[in-house]
Structure 1
């Protein structure tokens, strides 16, 4: 596989692994013998009809050992290192686990009569290929050289796309992040604004039960051994991590302690720059390894910025009429950017101004804006020709904090991901999953 296409698939998350949760172990021989069969299976349509065994049955729908081999080959093509027998067995376990989950997702979509058309899959393949500077045909040829059928990716795309639409349709309207939740995060960030910041990456290994803790710890230790042999943290995160950050190679970006879970904050506190932590269990049912890539002091507060709604009226309107119109400003919801919900009266104009630095405002407004908190409105201001009032929609103290919208989006994504995982567990619990290959501890 070309390096360009490899990076393309990794970045797209199409060869990441959803989790190391299942106790499913196939014989290592299946994966070890794969290179010998590569030539026979080089073409995407070359699915053997003879000698293919059933690896699992999901609600009467079989998953073949060929399907498992295809997924293992995809993982091996991106491993970047010689795998131990234990790691190879774990890879086969995960390959089967991923396929079982994908089959469950597609069956659940079918239950709701949700179908992802071939055209949508083609568009996603084209987008993925284009992001790496290639074409779908080149991507298929690249994979075929490794004995991997392009249909392996197509089915993964179809399953994930269907699941995303299901989860969004079922839970999206329920995810409502309150103003208080956003404000709590912002308050914590402000409090910690003068502390260190950390550029972090993570690998998450899910724990379905406490009995798996030692097994997952050993898997994590094997990954650390591979890192010592030169395998990048990013590649392992893309392959094995169960967290959403896997699509970014485990990258969490720059974080302050207030943005971290208590377990991660404790790990980071005791970890030097450039080091990777030992596997640590968390309250979220994960075994987590954290890499501290860089540390830096918090940036000094810079110039504040403000997003405001401005109301103005000419002096000819009269102060009383201007005050009456300005009093309706909050009820008009001017900060949303939509049409005003309340008319402020004839002669009173309103403008929603984007986030701008304090120096961009006229000098007479700067001290007024500095004293306004979000949601507060100024008293009437008078100039030579007009009356004015401003409503503070949002403010940035110059501390480099994320915007309210960014925080809300992050909290919503985290909640939707939590609901998605719970939904999948419920679907699996109510399904008949029969594993036909050997299971391991």
Structure 2
């Protein structure tokens, strides 16, 4: 068998132009978590269980010692602050208590990952951590120093983010050394995927985010409830990517759970069914799959290897009128009606300046706008608009009334098939991801953990 190697962790480093999930990857690896029936048979749990010790379900240990390394209450509090921050500071007390337990579990996993990497002579240096922290700060348009102060003001710290960065980096390096070299993908496998992809041209393709929660027969109910709570928080305005980064146990946690573009046939049956039943912007789950539960978020949809009209590049003029402060709704409606009549009589983009002068309106030009980047309610309007036409008026009492005039459109070409190397890298990603889960499971089983 001829094999080729590519980097299995491109997903965490940068967004790939083509990423997908193979259904086969969920089943082929040996050592996957056993089914409930097998687990019950192997550990021989009697039907008439009697508990000999009363425990207060509301009493939880806030800290832990993992193989001699302490996780403090401050560690938990600072990581909790990041989650609260990602949810706009709004979390119910019950949710905070549940999340605190999950955060402690995450910190334990991070500790195990860092310890295992160190045992294999893998460390993340201080300069590397500082560079990664600076990139995170830049995403918030702040300097590292200012970002550290901002985190402190919110009850977190630069150290909390740096710890997460260290765990992710050390774990990925460890997997590259001890797992990825033993993952082989043949040319025949890749060619088969390419053939199937070409045969599927025009089929629906989905941009999916996933939060994976592992579960055993013993804690399945608890993990299902955790998944429901996560969904509730996301539906109330929480960030899916933030929850995926904190709680997902898949390698895609590092990129906010993003699976990239997938077809339904490339997902396990339960996930395939769910993704075809929800609309863009909706969430589904928790969905039972081998080894745990998945939560899916559908962020976009398109046709395989077919140009998406929403990728058309538009040349636009925006014409807008501000409402005077304190204007009544009746007067505002008169302005909107007049404005709409003027737009209907528009004779191409060349007449925009004259109409704007009559109305006392402001005109803004933009020659590089994708339809998909416009607000969702405007996208179908722009798809049907002809050059020289304007949208109906839109706006609000605060922002005033405005319309977009289409001055030009560059339609997209049909998408090219992903490259051989892109497909090979993605298959490797999936196989490494499955083995990584098993690796971390074994570390948990062997760890000595004291809860304080």
TM-score normalised according to structure 2 size: 0.58
- Check if 1:142 corresponds to 2:155: no
* Partner residue in 1 for 2:287: 280
Task: Output aligned runs, 1:46-65, within 5 Å.
Answer: 55-65=63-73
| Alignment correspondent of 2:298 | 292
Tell me how far apart the structure 2 counterparts of residues 85 and 76 of structure 1 sit (CA, whole Å). 11
**C-alpha distance 92-188 of structure 1, shift in aligned 2 (>3 A):** same
Over residues 230-265 of structure 1, what are the superposed CA-to-partner deviations in whole Å (9 max), with x where a residue is unaligned?
334444434433333334443333322233232221
Pick the aligned partner of 2:426 from 407, 410, 421: 410
Q: Which aligned segments of 4 or more residues in structure 1 are displaced greater than 6 angstroms?
A: none
Does the CA-based 8 Å contact 1:280-1:289 persist in structure 2? yes
1:259-312 CA-to-partner distances (Å, cap 9, x unmatched) read 3232221212333444322321112x231122334444445599xxxxxxxxxx
Is 2:199 aligned against 1:183? no
Within the candidate set 416, 420, 429, 2:445 is matched to 429
The Cα of 1:93 is off from its aligned counterpart by 1.0
**Pairing 1:118-267 to 2, within 5 Å after superposition:** 118-207=126-215, 209-267=216-274
C-alpha deviations, 1:409-439, integer Å up to 9, x for none? 1111222222222222222222211222xxx
Which shows bigger deviation, 416-425 or 247-256?
Answer: 247-256
- Count of aligned pairs between the two proteins: 295
- Residues 354-388 of structure 1, C-alpha deviations (whole Å, 9 max, x = no match): xxxxxxxxxxxxxxxxxxxxxxxxxxxxxxxxxxx
Give TM-score, length-normalised by structure 1.
0.59
Paired position in structure 2 for 1:104: 112
Three-state SS of the structure 2 residue aligned to 1:186 is helix
- Report if aligned partners of 2:114, 2:170 keep a CA contact under 8 Å in 1: yes
Taking a change above 3 Å as real, the CA distance of residues 55 and 235 of structure 1, as seen in their structure-2 partners, is closer
Question: Do 2:305 and 2:417's aligned partners in 1 also have CA atoms closer than 8 Å?
Answer: no
8 A Cα contact 2:179 2:435, kept in partner? yes
Contact 1:26 1:92 in 2 (8 A): no
Measured in 2, the distance between the counterparts of 1:200 and 1:54 equals 34
Cα distance in 1 for residues equivalent to 2:305 and 2:150: 45
CA 1:162–1:226 in 2, change beyond 3 Å: closer, same or farther?
closer
Q: In 2, are the aligned partners of 1:193 and 1:399 still within 8 Å (CA)?
A: no
1:287-436 superposed matches below 5 A? 287-298=293-304, 300=306, 400-436=416-452
In 2, Cα distance between the equivalents of 1:79 and 1:139? 18
Does the C-alpha gap of structure 1 residues 116 and 299 become closer, same or farther in structure 2, counting only changes over 3 Å? closer
The root-mean-square deviation of aligned C-alpha atoms, in Å, is: 3.1
Q: Contact 2:206/2:301 (CA < 8 Å) preserved in 1?
A: yes
CA contact 2:224–2:286 (8 Å) conserved in 1: yes
State the alpha-carbon separation in 2 of the partners of residues 260 and 86 from structure 1. Answer: 34
1:80 aligned onto 2:75: no
CA distance in 2, matches of 1:211, 1:133: 45
The SS at the match of 2:282 is coil
In structure 2, runs of 5+ residues without a counterpart are 1-12, 15-55, 309-413
- Higher RCO structure (Cα 8 Å, ≥6 apart): 2
Contact 2:250–2:437 (CA under 8 A) maintained in structure 1: no
Write the distance in 1 (CA, Å) between the matches of 2:101 and 2:157. Answer: 20
Deviation (angstroms), 1:217: 2.4
The separation in 2 between residues aligned to 1:177 and 1:269, in whole angstroms, is 29
Deviations 1:6-45 (A, max 9, x none): xxxxx99xxxxxxxxxxx98869xxxxxxxxxxxxxxxxx
Distance in 1 between the 2:168 and 2:152 partners? 22
Contact 1:171 / 1:416 at 8 angstroms: preserved in 2?
yes
Q: 1:107 to 1:399 in 2, by over 3 A?
A: closer
Q: Which runs of 5+ in 1 are unaligned?
A: 1-10, 13-23, 29-52, 303-397, 437-441
